[in-house]
Structure 1
Amino acid sequence: MNSKFVLSQKEVALILAAGRTEAQRNQWPVSIAVVDDGGHLLALERLDGCAPIGAYICMEKARTSALGRRESNVYEEMVNNGRHAFLSVPLLTSLEGGVPIIVDGQVIGAVGVSGVKSAQDAQIAKAAVLALQG
């Protein structure tokens, strides 16, 4: 039988705090979602000034990253390079800003961020994920 790591509320709080810090340091109003490896929401935070839709989009970015086991920008690149069929995949957003949480080679969850430019969303998500390595 295999075993795997799972995110506890302690790690989720650490991830959210790191994402919030990166966003606030840059004065970026975003929403941040943390999901488990099945794409199920563990936490969501919408910072002041973020449009309500950001909360929905960040969850979908996180879900995409967790279920796909890769950064969500991979799908964006596929679509931009002509693989338009990916636009019809359910529960999938092909926007940059979803980053998997990988521990010992296993994806145990993901972070999704939405509210600013896609590269900035990804910067926040990556900073949040890096909090587990520090």
Structure 2
Amino acid sequence: MTHPTTTRTEPVPALRWATAIFAVALVVHGYDHLRRGMDTVSSTVMALGTIQMFAAVITIALVATGHRWAPPAAILVGFASAIGFTLVHLFPDWFGPFSDSFINPPASAKVTGFSWFAAIFEITAALAIGSAGLRARRVIP
């Protein structure tokens, strides 16, 4: 007798909504970087952002397909993104090449109110998907 193993489950609605908002926040934040110019950030920040974007896209796909790994991915990517974006954008330029600080940036960084909105939106959305992942982990076997 074989027991079927499933890797697909129906995500809880909160995880789906948080993921949709997170996806929009990714696009908004990415647009701000394009608007500011990709040459305004260090290659280190660019590499970290690219890794985060790939991890976020994979997480979005896991949630969209109802994969059983969706909640753990949402937890990991959500909270890691929130911490990373906070350190990179909202702290002073303490981290050298790991920094794209919005605190007293040079004019060449082209930071505007929209930049602040995009970063805070992304951080908030990342916290939301991480929290929704925690809740979904309790619901999805």
| TM bin (shorter chain) | 0.3 to 0.5
Structure having the higher Rg: 2
- TM-score of the superposed pair, with normalisation by structure 2: 0.31
- Higher relative contact order by CA 8 Å / sep ≥ 6: 1 or 2? 2
Instruction: Judging by fraction of residues, say which structure has more strand.
Output: 1
TM-score normalized by the length of structure 1: 0.33
